[in-house]
Structures are given as structure tokens and as C-alpha cells.
Chains A and B, each alone.
Chain A
Amino acid sequence: MNQMLLSRKAACNIHGQDSSYFLGWQEYEKNPYDPITNPTGIIQMGLAENQLCFDLIESWLENHPDPAAFKKDGALLFRELALFQDYHGLPAFKRALAKYMGEVRGNKVAFDPNRLVLTAGATSANETLMFCLAEPGEAFLLPTPYYPGFDRDLKWRTGAEIVPIHCSSSNGFRITKPALEAAYQDAQKRSLRVKGVLVTNPSNPLGTTLTRHELDILVDFVVSKDIHLISDEIYSGTNFDSPGFISIAEATKDRNNVSHRIHIVCSLSKDLGLPGFRVGAIYSENEAVVSAATKMSSFGMVSSQTQYLLAALLSDKEFTDKYLLENQKRLKERHDMLVEGLRRIGIGCLKGSAALFCWVDMRHLLKSNTFKGEMELWKKIVYQVGLNISPGSSCHCDEPGWFRVCFANMSEDTLTLAMQRLKSFVDSGDCGSNHDSGHQRPRKTFLTKWVLRLSSTDRKSER
């Protein structure tokens, strides 16, 4: 029988979708919670989506029906938009996006629309930057813990490598100069040429923002090694508390000779809750990078229909001002609710001030202080408690026992229920032991729903 061979890229596992981490996803999809039709189902707390402010956008759409209908001042622009496939992007959209990016950063910096490259989501932006900055086999340094999707996005088709910058709970997972140097040495030992550092700020999965000090040492480091710095700022519009978000753009605006090595990634998927629309962007003052990335964006452009709609939305200052404030407020409320709910169960979190999740400390619930112990605890939380949360090991965290728990992708009632379930679990004393307890939720209810399917649905990993 002929074996139709595919490429090495197609056959490898770097896309990461065979990992045990996706078990939680699969279980959720087999048995998703619904307050009415499936109240004992699994609650999805592994999905970093922002569902808190749709009403604001919906109301804007109702009051401004023209952009979605391809209209402007009564004229139909359908054919112009349908034909518009210039990879430089719709000028009105880039202007609106640049304006919005400035507003998100408190207008402490201004962005030039001509330095923006539009891409189909930040997933595409990050990969494109790798193609532009690294050869196959070269490396980027990333602080741990980091977004699991980076293993696919940065490495899969590019052939680039990731070398971790180890961060620890001892100092709140802050990036330190010794950690940077150690990572660089690790790369050297592995004979990997380092081309840059990539940070996510605000951080996924930590939910914290980089301090000015961290930003400064990062910039000093990349200058001293003559490498690039990518700042993935897709959560910039979700900052809801002090100390506040400082963009790399702000941190470098008064420094000379560094802008050519700094590249920012943005997206509308998190702030505005529009992941389906595939709107990402690279911002760089390096002309060569903008030029190469622009051409590469041919492989992943934003629909002109979507650009047109969002140009209208984002250029409406009244809307963006109101949205940013309200979004902050609601995120903070929801975040505080989760933190308080966890606190009452005796579970702490890293102090976060941004993003759509908490970095939760469940080390004290581990049977053993190992990743095996973490997996055991995680499986219990998925199967017994019915919560899909993300284990720290999937984020390459060095210490077992940390979990990322999302709070913005569900209603208040669902969050309350999730906390109740967790409380029952912790109170039952079942964590850290294998014995069933009388207070535990009946296993049978779950087991009847776990009908093994012939084919599992794999699913794109979410941030």
C-alpha cells in the first residue's frame, strides 16, 4: 500500500494538540455546562475570552447600522471594499487602530499608522515576526510561564526555538537580569543563536503587568546582546487595576537607538472580545521589518469587510473612551469576585491587575510537590469538580501547583457556581488523597456523561 508521505512539519507534534492538556478541552466539549440543559456539565475556565462588554458594541451597532451594511453617508461601498486587497490595509482602519492603541496607553505615546502591519490575528502576527527575525534553528527567549500556543505559533512552521527565561514565585514571577543572562547562556550551551526576547505584557498567564524596572532591564539586555524585543501587548486594553500598564513604546520613547529592535504585537481579540474577526497587527519602527512583514501579510490578511466595520467603531472616540472605562470596571469586578471566592476556600492568587484570568496558587492542595501531583490534581478538578482550568505545566511553569483560571468568559452566576463546586471539593478533603468522600459530588453523574466517542474533536488552543 502506498504511504502518502506528508512533510516533516505536517507529521510532527509541535502544534501541541496531542498533549494531555487538550484532554480538558475535549472533556469540556463532550460535556459543556449549560445552566438549563446541562447544569452538571464542565464549566469552561480555560478560555481567555472577554464576554463582559458585548452590550456596548451591540448598542453601537444598533445606532450605527451603516458600516456593517457597507454604507457610508447613504452610498454603498460594497464593490470598493470587495475589491480592496491591498496588503497595506484600509488607511481608515489603520488610522483608527493607531488612534485606539494610543488611547489604550493613556495617550502617553502616539502610533503612526504607516508603521502598522495588519495580520489575521495576533497568532499570525507572532509567527510573521518569527519568520522575519529568526532563521530556522535560531532562538527567542521567553519568560516562563508563557501562553501554551507560543510553542506552535513561534516554532511550528518557522523552525525557530524557544529558550525559557526562568521566573519563580519567590519574587512574583518577575523577570530578573540574572534570569535573562542564564537563559542566554542556556541557549549558548545548546548552540542556539539568540535573535531576541519575546514578552507578553500584560502577561498571559500571570495577569500582571511588567514594571518599569523590568522593561528597562529588558531593553538594556537586548541592546547589550544586539537582539530584538517583541512585546506582545494583546491584553493592553484589559488592564483594570494599579499599578497600571506601561507599554514598551512608553518605556523606550526617550531612549535613543533602540526603536529599530522593538516590535509590538496587538490584537482586538481580547480587549474588544472579537477573536472571530481575526484582527491583529505588528507595530515597528524598523522599516525593513515593516516592509517584509507587510508582504508576508499576504498569507493572512484581515477581511476588508471587517476592516471597514472596525474603522468606524474605533474611530468613534466617544465609543472608545466609554468602552475602555467600562471594560476596566467590569473586569475588575469580575476579577475581584473570583479572587474573593478563592480566598474563602483558602486559595490564593498572584496579585494581578490585568487580563482575563488569575494565576491561582493551589500548591497546598497537591498530593506531592511534583508535576505528577499537579496533573493528578488537575484531572480531579476537570473530572470531579467539573472545571476546565489550565495547569501551569502547560504554560511551562517551573513550579508545580499553579493554575490559570479565566473569569471573563462566563456569567456571574456561572462563576459563583464554579466557586461553590471548588469549595465542596476542597472542604471534602479529597484533594491530596484518592479516597471518595461522602460530601463529594456523586461520581456517577459524571461517568454517565463520559461516553467515549470514536473520534475526538481536536480544537485550536485558546489564549
Chain B
Amino acid sequence: MVKGAESCVPLSEVATSNTHGEDSPYFAGWKAYDEDPYDAASNPAGVIQMGLAENQVSFDLLEKYLDQHPGASGWGCGISGFRENALFQDYHGLQTFRQEMATFMEQIREGRAKFDPERIVLTAGATAANELLTFILADPGDCLLIPTPYYPGFDRDLRWRTGVRIIPVHCSSSNGFQVTLQALEDAYVKAEGMKIRVRGLLLTNPSNPLGTAIARHVLEEVLDFVTQKDIHLISDEIYSGSVFSSDEFVSVAEIVEARGYEDCDRVHIVYSLSKDLGLPGFRVGAIYSYNDRVVTAARRMSSFTLVSSQTQRMLASMLADRGFTENYLKTNRERLKNRRDFITEGLKNAGIECLPGNAGLFCWMNLAPLLEEPTREGELRLWSLIVHEAKLNISPGSSCHCSEAGWFRVCFANMSQQTLEVALRRIKDFMKNMKAKQEK
């Protein structure tokens, strides 16, 4: 492969910048895993991947569905099924699939909110949905406010090609990292001071990395704030199906409806099937907007990121089966809750506290007491020990822009129960060793 020893035809700034974030130190953890991945049989001393927010606890339900409905993944016996599907590239998306997505979103919220299929725009994953909304709602040089800690991928997804900036809304452990009005105001004032125009606020609800559903009163405050500032609100609800107790999740859609759809032009929801259904490979994301112009613009822009019609067709069929979806949602929640309880219990036995959580595929764990110094450097040093000695790839809070050092995100749904047990044993041993070192 040519490395450019010849005249280097220049690439763009975007192509050569670091905003994709993949040169950051956090990739050392990934690298350690890739070079030495744990396998119960062939590599029992390898690195266990706990940095990947995947949902692997409910595949058996999907496999059983496919087994019982072999027609779901094919095109049937008639000739028109295949060709019609293969030709379908309309950016409105398959009507049946949009319909089922809307219904599925309603099911997750147990009917507390209604979704109009005509307001759904399909994209190849939530990654694409978030970028698309950023292109639509903000100009290069503008910013979005995002409460910390937040998903590290946002630095790339929202900023890289759009030229839009992120101003953090600092949240603190003193109140369980909940967003406060003061923090919102502070961030807004900071942006103003930097002469950066704020176009919107992006919330992830339930939160990644915290693993908590946002409380209703916080959502109300947030909606009042964005209304007062006349900015947009993007609510990334991709983990909505993973709230362990479905009535503990309040979607911004519910608040919008409770307010009689007043002034809801500024509210946009992002959803995906990657977390709740465990299908990140199929690239199924969606934007739901109450703003007609946003829906129109998003639909046109989705040309760059359409969902495979083969995938739309299969999932429309699967989601149409209400018996299947009801059972899936209920069972999935139970299993995630059990996993969460198991890991928090195990961590507690190892002397580690986690932020109380009720959602998501991960725990937000507090190792601040172990830090030599309460700084990012101190945190990274501890993290390096965990990766290389305990052989666990977990995500340091600094990668999530957490303003307090010592917090780590630990995933629990991307591995078997046995592997989780091994991981917990390693953590317990690690903590014992650390304690012994500290006492010396």
C-alpha cells in the first residue's frame, strides 16, 4: 500500500484531524484486548472485554423467533417479494417497518407516549442519526451542550464532519450526576463568553455511562431551559428498552404530550435497535422529530445512510409479532436487572461502590478511593493497572469527560455469566492487592 512517499496529494482537514478520536490513550485498552482476548477455553488468562456496551443476554429469544418463523428472514415463494424489496430505496423507509418501529417505541414506554410513523426517519444506526441531527440543527462553529459524563463517541459523531462543538454541562457525584439548572446555565454562559452560539442540548436518557434513567422533574427543568433559551433538545433514548422497571423510564415524549404538544418543534428523539435488541450489526437507527421541517430535511439527508431494505423487511416482520415483542421486552429487562444486581453485589464484596442505577448495560463504579491523586493522570495510571494486571478492559471516566477522577464504566451484558464471575474474581483479587499496597 502506498504510504505517500511520493508527492502527497493533500487530503482535507477533516480527513487528517484527530476528531475521530481514535488516537486517544483510551484505545490502549482496546488494543490490549485485541492482542490478548479472553477465551474461557483457549485463553483463560486473557483480557476480558468490559468496555463494550453490547446486549448479549437475550439472543436466545431472537434465535427462537427465527427458528419458529423461518419466513421472516426470506422473501417467500412468490417472485415479487425479492425484487420489490431489492429495488426499494425510498428514503421514506418501508412503511411497514416505520409503523412497527413506532409501535415498538410505544410498547417500550407502555403506551405513555404515541409515535406517528410519518415522523420517523430511518438511518444506518444511532451514530448516523446523531450526526444527521447535528448537521440539521447547527452550523459549523456552533455548539451543543451535553451533560457529563457522556458517551465518548459523541466527540466524533457530533463534531468530526459537522464542525460543531460540544460544551460540557458539568454534573457531579454530589447529587448522583444529575443535571441541574445551575449547571445548564453555567454551560450556556460559558458558551456565550466564548462567543459560540448554542443550538441545542443533547441528553442521553437512560444515561450512558451512568446507567440511570433521568428523573421526571429533571426532564421538566431541561425542557423549560431549552424553551427559555429557544434552543433544540435532542433526547438520545437508545437504551430506553433496557430500563429494568419500565415504569421508571420517563421519555421526553411523555412530557411533550403532557404539555399538549406546545412548543415541541424543538424536541427530537433518537432511537436504535442496537442496544435493546442487540442488533448493532444491522445498522438500524431512527430520528423522531416533532418538527416537520426537521423531518423533511432529515429524510432527504438520510440518503447518505439508509437502512438495508432486506433488514427493514425482516425486522418489520419480527416487530409485528406483539407476543414476541412483549415477551422480549419483559424478559430482557429481567435478565439485565439480574446481571446488574449480580455485578453490583460482586463489586460490593470487593469493596467497590457503584452509582445506584436502574438501566443500561453497564455500571458506573467509583474507584476514587484508590487513586494516588485525584487527577486524570492518577485515573489513567489506575486504569492502566486494571487493564494490564487485572486484565479487564473497562472505560475510564475521563474518556467520558467526567469532571471527577476515579469513576469507571463497566459493562456487564456483553459476556456470559461465567465470564462475569471470572471478571469479578479478578476485581476482588485486584482490590485485595491494591489495599495491601496502600497499607504498606
Write the residues of chain A forming the contact surface with B, with a CB cutoff of 8 angstroms: 2, 4, 6-10, 15, 17, 49, 51, 54-55, 57-58, 61, 65, 68-70, 76, 78-79, 81-85, 114-115, 120-121, 123-124, 127, 131-136, 138, 152-153, 156-157, 195, 226-228, 257, 259-261, 269, 273-278, 285-290, 292-293, 295-296, 298-306, 309, 458-460, 462
Closest to B6 in A: A257
Sample (9) of A-B pairs whose CB atoms are under 8 Å apart: A79-B63, A132-B14, A133-B15, A135-B13, A195-B10, A276-B87, A298-B157, A306-B310, A460-B91
The minimal Cβ–Cβ distance linking B263 to chain A, given in whole angstroms, is 7
Name which of B214-222, B301-309, B425-433 contacts chain A: B301-309
Q: Quick check: B59 and A82 within 8 Å, CB to CB?
A: yes
CB of A57 to closest CB in B, whole Å: 7
Cα separation A274 to B308 with both chains bound (whole Å) = 10
User: Of the candidates A134, A152, A309, which one forms a contact with B310 in the assembled complex, judged by CB atoms under 8 Å apart?
Assistant: A309
Would you call B66 and A83 a contact (CB within 8 A)?
no
Q: Identify the interface centre among A8, A10, A276: most chain B CB within 10 Å of its CB.
A: A276
User: How far in angstroms is the closest Cβ of chain A from B294?
Assistant: 7
Closest approach, in angstroms, between the C-beta of B315 and any C-beta of chain A? 9
Q: A69 with B70: in contact, given A127-B304, A305-B314 (CB under 8 Å)?
A: yes
Does residue B9 face the partner (Cβ distance < 8 Å to A)? Answer: yes
Say how far B69's CB is from chain A's closest CB, in angstroms: 11
Do residues A306 and B308 form an inter-chain contact, with CB atoms below 8 A? yes
Instruction: Tell whether, in the assembled complex, residue A301 and residue B136 are in contact, meaning their CB atoms are under 8 Å apart.
Output: no
Contact B12 A134 (CB under 8 A): yes
A303 with B305: CB separation less than 8 A = no
CB distance from B309 to the nearest CB of A (A): 3
Q: Choose one: A78, A227, A459; the contact of B90 (CB below 8 Å).
A: A459
The residue of chain B having its C-beta at the shortest distance from the C-beta of A227 within the complex is B9
* B87 lies within 8 A of A49 (CB): yes
Chain B residues with Cβ under 8 A from A7's Cβ? Answer: 135-139, 142, 199
Please name all residues of chain A whose beta carbon is closer than 8 Å to the beta carbon of B9 when the two chains form the complex. Answer: 226-228, 260-261, 286
Q: Which of B54, B74, B308 has the most CB of A within 10 A?
A: B308
Contact B281 A296 (CB under 8 A): no
A120–chain B nearest beta-carbon distance, Å: 5
Contact in complex: B12, A54 (CB < 8 Å): no
Q: How far is the CA of A434 from the CA of B45 in the complex (A)?
A: 84
Contacts of B140 in A (CB 8 A): 136
Q: A277 contacts B310, CB within 8 Å?
A: yes
Name the distance in Å between B247's Cβ and chain A's nearest Cβ: 29
Q: Contact partner of B230 among A2, A49, A269, A287, CB < 8 A?
A: A2
Residues of B within 8 A of A299 (CB): 124, 127-128, 131, 157, 161, 304-305
CA gap between A51 and B7 in the complex, in Å: 44
Instruction: Mark interface residues in B264-283 (1 if CB within 8 Å of A CB, else 0).
Output: 01100000001000111111
Interface presence of B79 (CB below 8 A) = yes
Check if B128 sits within 8 Å of A300, measured CB to CB: yes
Find out whether the CB atom of B12 lies under 8 angstroms from the CB atom of A287: no
Residues of B close to A260: CB separation below 8 A: 2, 4, 6, 8-9
Task: Indicate if B358 sits at the interface (CB-CB under 8 A).
Answer: no
Are the C-beta atoms of A10 and B73 separated by less than 8 Å?
A: no
* Cα A273 to Cα B85 with chains together (Å): 11
In the complex, the answer to whether B4 meets A303 with C-beta atoms within 8 Å is no
Interface residue? B16 (CB, 8 A) = yes
Query: B194 contacts the other chain (Cβ, under 8 Å)?
Result: no
Complex Cα–Cα for A228 and B128 (A): 27
Flag if A306 contacts B311 (CB, 8 Å).
Answer: yes
Query: Are the CB atoms of A278 and B306 closer together than 8 Å?
Result: yes
What is the CA–CA distance of A226 and B6 in the complex, to the nearest angstrom?
11
In Å, the complex CA distance between A459 and B296 comes to 11
- Bound form: Cα–Cα A58–B75 in Å: 9
Known: A277-B308, A288-B16. A303 touches B281 (CB 8 A): yes
B422 within 8 A of partner (CB): no
Q: A7-B138, A83-B54, A131-B14 are in contact. Are A303 and B308 (CB under 8 A)?
A: yes
